[in-house]
Amino acid sequence: MKRIISTLLLLVLCCTLLTGCFCKHEWQDATCTTPTTCSLCGKTEGEAPGHMAGDMVTGEIDLAAKTSTSYQNCKICGTSLHSEVTDLTTFLDGGKFIFSPNQYNDAMNTYFGGEYIFEIDTLDSGALISMISDANGGVTGAIMYLANGDSLTIDDADSPACDSLLSYWYTDDNAQIIDVMTGILMGCDINLNEETALNTLSAIIDAYGSSYSSNGLSYEVTLNDNDFVFLISVD
């Protein structure tokens, strides 16, 4: 009988040795998707806690498509959990344009499709501009980006800090100026299409010597060194 008991105890001990884990665990903290895990043997404890959703944050805006994409990320690991595309109702927010100079520059290139080329550049003064040229390489004009009356700099190229656009011209071709101004106006006022942008441009010119206001924007045509300049400002 003692022999039988000893044999049974030996079998139990063998099973324990074969199935037990004698690892001196080195535990790695749980992540959103994995429980606490031993880096040596892979043993786990508990369950993965899961993601913790943060607030929806506005990210990319697409001026050409007139849409804004909002993102919701995990507060813990930053994983993207949800995105949502909504239609824009305005290009203005809090006394500024919602776009950065780079975004506006890209939107103009998309709109004109190579007929006119917009390129971010700076003047010798450091002022940030979009240089405008036609398809043949001729320089048509430029847009200067302003905030509170001061020129933005290259450091502001990706910042939505602009509250005014100043357009000036290196060409005497009125047809080119009208073409480009039509696109510039549509890029500032989401309510405009080509027809209403032309009507707005006509009203701006008719108001020469004073300002013309529409949809939260003020427009003014002035002379600078005997050249016409167009100023578009957020009211």
Residue 13, pLDDT > 60, answer no
Instruction: Specify if 15 maps to a domain.
Output: no
Q: Are residues 119 and 214 in the same domain?
A: yes
The two tokens of residue 140 are 């048509």
pLDDT in tens, 55-102: 877 667 888 889 988 889 999 898 989 889 999 999 999 999 999 999
- For residue 17, what pLDDT band results from cuts at 50, 70 and 90? very low
What is the mean pLDDT of the segment spanning 176-204? 96
Q: Are residues 142 and 221 in the same domain?
A: yes
pLDDT in tens, 112-140: 999 999 999 999 999 999 999 999 999 99
CA 52/CA 100 separation, integer angstroms: 31
What is the mean pLDDT of the segment spanning 154-158? 96
CB-CB contact of 228 with 169 (8 Å): yes
Average pLDDT of every residue of the chain? 89
pLDDT in tens, 33-43: 999 999 999 99
| Total domains present in the chain | 2
Domain range spanning residue 117? 96-234
Instruction: Specify if 123 maps to a domain.
Output: yes
Q: Are residues 109 and 192 in the same domain?
A: yes
- For residue 227, what pLDDT band results from cuts at 50, 70 and 90? confident
CB-CB contact of 200 with 188 (8 Å): no
Count of beta carbons in the 10 Å neighbourhood of residue 169: 20
Lowest mean pLDDT among 12-16, 45-49, 186-190: 12-16
Comparison of pLDDT for 60 and 222, the residue scoring more: 222
Q: Are residues 114 and 167 in the same domain?
A: yes
**DSSP 3-state percent helix, strand, coil across the chain (nearest 5):** 25, 35, 35
- With a CB cutoff of 8 Å and minimum separation 6, the contacts of 181 are 167, 201, 230
Return the amino acid letter for 20: G
Instruction: Specify if 175 maps to a domain.
Output: yes
Instruction: Specify if 3 maps to a domain.
Output: no
Instruction: Specify if 20 maps to a domain.
Output: no
Q: Are residues 45 and 155 in the same domain?
A: no
Instruction: Specify if 13 maps to a domain.
Output: no
Which pLDDT score, from 0 to 100, does residue 41 have? Answer: 92
Instruction: Specify if 129 maps to a domain.
Output: yes
CA 10/CA 182 separation, integer angstroms: 92
Instruction: Specify if 12 maps to a domain.
Output: no
